[in-house]
Amino acid sequence: MKINLLKKSLGIGAIFLASTVWAESEVANKPVHGEYKDWRLLSVSHRLEKKTLRAILGNDKAIEAARQGKTTPWPDGAILAKVVWKERQHPNWPQAIVPADFAAAEAMIKDSKKYASTGGWGFAHWQDNKLVMHDKETAAKCYACHVPMKDHDYVYTFNALQ
Ligand code: HEC
């Protein structure tokens, strides 16, 4: 009886331990989200060449403008966030591609005067909770690749949720 009980509690202990370890490594993979985790969705994208999934979110100013269709240009104060995860097949349904590890969170901040030389957009990224502006050189590269979308105010995303 005693031995059985011991076996049982050891078994439960092992399961508990295993689940704790699993839970911790899951947590370690998660970013410490900045404020963007409370923002609303504009769209999603799947980059085939980078094997990543993205959610494009907007702060209130951006969402308001998007819903009114006033995004050419986006208003000053609008911020777009692009949250990127590596892709993986769902373990129970391989045809479903779902997010794996967090990869990055990038931002575009509209201020037509301050960032006039890069289309009115400041380019930044989140480091943990902090929104950090890219240096001039990096921002110039970001901007250069967004130039083909000039007629769409340098933004690739088409709003999927109106
Ligand atoms: C090689 C081209 C390229 C470069 C360089 C690039 N982007 Fe983009 N960016 C894209 C494309 C394509 C999309 C739309 C598809 C997607 O979601 O990735 C996009 C989307 C975005 C979005 C969502 C809003 C939108 O325009 O759709 C943000 C925010 C963003 N990029 C920020 C950045 C930042 C910050 C940098 C520089 C560190 C950067 N990008 C550099 C090509 C680029």
CA of 146 to the centre of ligand 1 (A): 7
What is the dihedral angle through the alpha carbons of 154, 160, 128, 116, rounded to the nearest 10 degrees?
20
Domain enclosing residue 14, as ranges: 1-30
Q: Do residues 79 and 118 both lie within one domain?
A: yes
pLDDT of residue 24: 42
Q: Is the per-residue pLDDT at 14 higher than 80? A: no
**Domain count along the chain:** 2
In the DSSP assignment, the letter for residue 33 is: -
Q: Do residues 135 and 122 both lie within one domain?
A: yes
Q: Do residues 59 and 95 both lie within one domain?
A: yes
Q: Do residues 2 and 60 both lie within one domain?
A: no
Residues 131-147, mean pLDDT to the nearest whole number? 96
Atom of ligand 1 nearest to the CA of 157: 27
pLDDT of residue 119: 97
Distance CA 41, CA 145 (A): 23
| Residue that is written with structure tokens 């890069």 in the block | 118
Q: Do residues 3 and 63 both lie within one domain?
A: no
Report the nearest-CA residue for atom 5 of ligand 1.
Answer: 142
Q: Reduce the DSSP state of residue 78 to 3 states and report it.
A: coil
Instruction: Give percent above pLDDT 90 in the chain.
Output: 73
Residues 34-50, mean pLDDT to the nearest whole number? 93
In this structure, are residues 112 and 73 in contact, taking their beta carbons and an 8 Å threshold? yes
Neighbours of 3 (CB within 10 A): 7
pLDDT band at 28 (very low <50, low <70, confident <90, very high): very low
Residues 74-99, mean pLDDT to the nearest whole number? 97
Report the nearest-CA residue for atom 40 of ligand 1.
Answer: 142
Q: Is residue 158 part of a domain?
A: no
Q: Do residues 50 and 110 both lie within one domain?
A: yes
CA of 60 to the centre of ligand 1 (A): 20
Give the predicted TM-score (pTM) of the model.
0.84
Q: Do residues 41 and 12 both lie within one domain?
A: no
pLDDT of residue 161: 80
Token digits of residue 97: 């591609």
